[in-house]
Every structure is written in structure tokens, then in C-alpha cells.
Structure 1
């Protein structure tokens, strides 16, 4: 083989002239894909009260999709008011998976969620639908996406959407929401599962914020007059609000950690203006469409149409 001495060459060799004319190209060349195409999954994240469930339904009514709940409390049966489960009317006919499917006292670990969510994703994809995973249990979502051997990421391409609201504004909304939950019968709902002899609040739906707080009220109630009961209940409700706000802060910090430390590519949707205008339903709905639904629909359309050529026909059907 002839060797070229680089010290003799004063000028770089010209690049080879390649013929990219259609007549010379193999028709399968451009569509060659060395890696098998991945199915697509959407994951909606955010602190409690930011509108994650609403956005998931909005997207599922624009794209043929089904929703997988990733909230570790809402997976249990009961406490629909306390856990703010989406209602049949709010779901707009969109199928929801892992919502109210386990007994109240059942354990539900991150490993349990990973197994059940994977089965749900496969089931949804088998019907030609788009899986949308939504919920506030970010530790469960992380365990699913970044599993031990990264099998999830090897099979699926993920589109992460983060509905964010500034904490002071969100705290005001959360406080109002707790008051509305009380009006809907939250206290009576929790009273139904109260057990005088059971003080274990580490299992199942009994871990939900509001259950341990109301325990002290139910235990003291028989020994108090009406004024004292009213005062104690007011204090307990304030505890529920504070603990819910603290949960929202932790959830937001967890998402920030996923972005900062684990380099998750998450599209942030700032919905603060929506909550500032919540006194006016019309203005809030307009802001929600502009700040949350519109940008996420655009992002999801691009995400689905980024598939290799062989997948684009299906993607266009999903977008249509």
C-alpha cells in the first residue's frame, strides 16, 4: 500500500466529490436507521394544584391519547375529595389508568408503579394511542424513566412538560382549594376512614395530607364544646394548607433537581398569570390556552413529527 508523507504535502488534499444526484442514490439510503425507532411517551410534571390533570385532558382531546396517573395517593380507592381526583366530567371521556385501582391500605412503592406503568404504556401503544403520564409523585416518575438498566429510555422517547406556577401565587390558590374541599365534604370523607385504634399513617391513602392532621380533631371532638371544636377544626385546616404548600415546594425542588443534576430536558410552561386571573373564569381560560395548552400542543406536535420517515404517517394521524 502506498504511503503519503504528510511533510511533503504543502496543500491539503481536496475533499472527494460525491455524487448525491437521485440517479446515483440507493432509494433506501436516506431512510437507513441504525437504531430501531422508539415509541413516544409524554410526561406532564408539576407541583400540586398547578393544573397537570387539566393539561393532560386538554392534550388528550387534541391527540388520540390515554392518561396514566402517577400520583401515589390517587392510585388508591376512596378519598376522592381530599386527593382532588379528576371527576368523570372533567376527564371528558379520556381513559385514565392507575387511578383509584388499589385498596386504601395497599402498599404502592416506586417499583410497583414502574411495573404497572410499563404495562399501561404497552397497552396504550398497542391500541395506537399516545401514553400521557401525569401526576405529582416525581420520585415514582424518576424511578420509571431512569430505571436501573435504563430500559425505559431504550424503548421510549419522552416529551417532558412542566406546568409551573410561582410559589406565592400557588400558595394562595392551594389555600382556597382546601377551603373548597372542606365545603365539598372533605372532613366527613376522612371521618369515614378514621379508626380510633389505628394510628398508622404510613400506608396507602392514609398517607395523604389531611388524614393525619384530622386525626387529632376526631380524637378530641367528643370532649369539646361547639366553640372549641370549631376552633380546633380551623387550626387543623390551617395545618393542611401549610403542609400542602410545603409539599408543592418539595415537588418543585425535585423537578429543578431533575433538570439541574440529571439533565432532563423539560419544557417549562409558566402558568402563573392563569392563577393571578382566577377570579375571572373567562380571562383565566384565555390565559390557560395561551400559556399552557397552546405551547404544549405545539411542542407535542413537533415531538410526534420528529419521528423517522417510516413512523411519520402514524405521527401525522396522531397530530390530526
Structure 2
């Protein structure tokens, strides 16, 4: 048994069992997949604030490079609240294996250490299958600990490539507010009501840390005293405004953290500007912009990373055709513009 996995708490050990059918030691041979990319011990990270399109890009890249995805969003690791946490559905996953997604009991304390142990083991398992690990999520503290903490030895074991999906903050604020409205239309309030506990006001543990749960607490507690329709509507609208405000605050903190990693700690981040995609309300135009402004530069970066070269002829159209054929074959539909 891997010594690293022995240190996991019992509940986390149960969650990690699916990984254990693969040996933990990495192959020393070169790994080859489509376009003959050598990928021994290589890992791709996709970072960015909430709502910038990280999940969509990870699935696009995983479809092309035959990769598997490891979630690094500390709330999406928990089971439940799929609308609130904006998890990709099975259909949206396009058959790509997703690890550390909806695996932990909502009331369990899942720590940074738990993530680092399980993510490291997941990377080793994916590489053993001769596939590319893609780690994606907005919890930059998880990613920083995984990469920088010497006790996990991640930097000494793996060669890392970082993609940063960035969106102008003023544009992102409008999109985030619009996305919250869409969540409400999809049943957000009813979903959160199911986890509301009138005897528990602790929102620092488990899935109850998610933005939206605490914001609706006051509304749920006072709902029975709001006798007229107008009072109930106002109470709910105020709670939704708080969700929007705190989600924007989260996005701002995520962006500041990424700037810190790049500017103060010297991380080599490949910035991909997705601002135009969120500006464009026409779906066809937005999809075209996504391919040209996000997928194309990301493919170039990852291809060069896997090929260990900065002087590589790159044929986006050929790969785009492969991507389209693969997604059609898998019966996959494109996920929303940004998740």
C-alpha cells in the first residue's frame, strides 16, 4: 500500500479507493498518444476565477489530448448542491473521466492535505494509464499547496504547465450576476432549502461553506413570518443580491491570488483572455470566439509543453476537426460558455 495513502483519514481512504486499482509508481518510459506527444510526468493546470470557462476548456483539451480531469474546486469535491456549485453534468463531461468531483460526504471536513494526497495519487494513476492529467478548479490555495509544499514533492516529480483563463473583472461581474439569476431559475433556492438546518448556523464546515447557503439562511429562518407576498419577494431578492455580491468578491480574491502567484512567487502562467466570449450574447459568435481566442492558444501552449519545444508547427484546423469528430462520436454537446 502506498505510504502516502496510509495517512489519509478513514473516510478519505474510502473516497480514494477507485484510484487504487492502478499502481502508484510512474512509468519511466515515454508516453505517446495522438500526434506522438511525449508526456512522461507532465501535468496541465487550468486556473482562473469563477465563471471564466475553466471547465469547458478542460473538457476541450481532454478530448483532444486523451486526458483525464482532476477537480481542484474545494466545494465541488462534496456531494450535492450541483446547481449552486455549477458542476458539469455527465452529458457535459463528454465521457471524460472526472476525479475528485462529488466524492465527499457534505458534512465531512475535507482539508488541503486531503486534496494534496488524493490529487497526487490521482495524477500518478492517470499517467500510469498513459493519459494526460488536467487539474482544474478555482481553489488556488489547493493548487499552491499541491505544487509548492515540499512534503508532497510535486514539483520534483512532475513537469507542470499552467493555463490561466482570464476575463476583465467588470465583464466578469456582469456575467456572474447573470449566472446567479439563471441558477435561481434552475431551482437554486429549492436546492439550498434541502440543506438548510434551523438548528445549525455554522457555515464554516463541509458543503455549507458554499456561497449561497449562508446568504439564504436569514430568508429561510424568517420566511414563515413574512405573511405577504411582497415581503417574501423582497427577502428573497436581498438574499440573491448577497449571493451575487459575495460571488463577485470571491472572483476578485481568486484573481488577486493568481496575480500573486505570477508576480510575487514567479509562477509561469500562460494567460488566455476569454473576455470577448462573455461579452458576446450571440451563441454562434461566442462559440466561434471561444475556438479562436481560448481553444487555439491553449492548444498551442499544451502542444509545445508536451513536445518540449517552442518552435512547433501547429495546425489548429486539423485538431479542431478531430475534436469535433470525437465529440460527435461520443454524443457530446458543448457545455455553457463559461463555468
User: Normalising to structure 2: TM-score of the pair?
Assistant: 0.79
Name the counterpart of 1:41: 43
What is the CA–CA distance in structure 1 between the aligned matches of 2:45 and 2:111, rounded to whole Å? Answer: 19
The separation in 1 between residues aligned to 2:91 and 2:294, in whole angstroms, is: 21
Residue 100 of structure 1 corresponds to: 102
Q: Distance in 2 between matches of 1:176 and 1:150?
A: 39
Shift of 1:293: 0.5
Aligned equivalent of 1:284? 286
The correspondence for 1:304, drawn from 298, 306, 319, is 306
Aligned ranges 1:176-191 → 2 under 5 Å? 176-191=178-193
Q: Which residue of 1 aligns with 2:258?
A: 255
Aligned residues: 272
> Structure 1: how far apart are the matches of 2:87 and 2:206?
15
Q: 1:52 touches 1:163 (CA, 8 Å); kept in 2?
A: yes
**Structure 1 CA distance, aligned partners of 2:152 and 2:225?**
56
Q: How far 1:149 moved relative to its partner?
A: 4.2
Contact 1:38 1:155 survives alignment (8 Å):
no
**Secondary structure, counterpart of 1:221 in structure 2:** helix
**Structure 2, unaligned runs of 5 or more:** 1-38, 310-321, 324-339
Root-mean-square deviation (Å): 1.4
The unaligned stretches of length 5 or more in structure 1 are: 1-36, 308-318
> 2:151 and 2:291 mapped to 1: Cα distance?
38
Runs of 4+ in structure 1 off by over 3 angstroms are none
Aligned to 1:148, which of 140, 145, 150?
150
Q: 1:284 and 1:149, CA in 2 relative to 1: closer, same or farther beyond 3 A?
A: same
Deviations 1:7-51 (A, max 9, x none): xxxxxxxxxxxxxxxxxxxxxxxxxxxxxx961000000000000
Quick check: 1:206 aligned with 2:205? no
Q: Which residue of 2 aligns with 1:127?
A: 129
Give the aligned partner of residue 318 of structure 2: none
1:78-93 matches, within 5 Å, as 78-93=80-95
Could you state the TM-score of these two structures normalised by the residue count of structure 1? 0.83
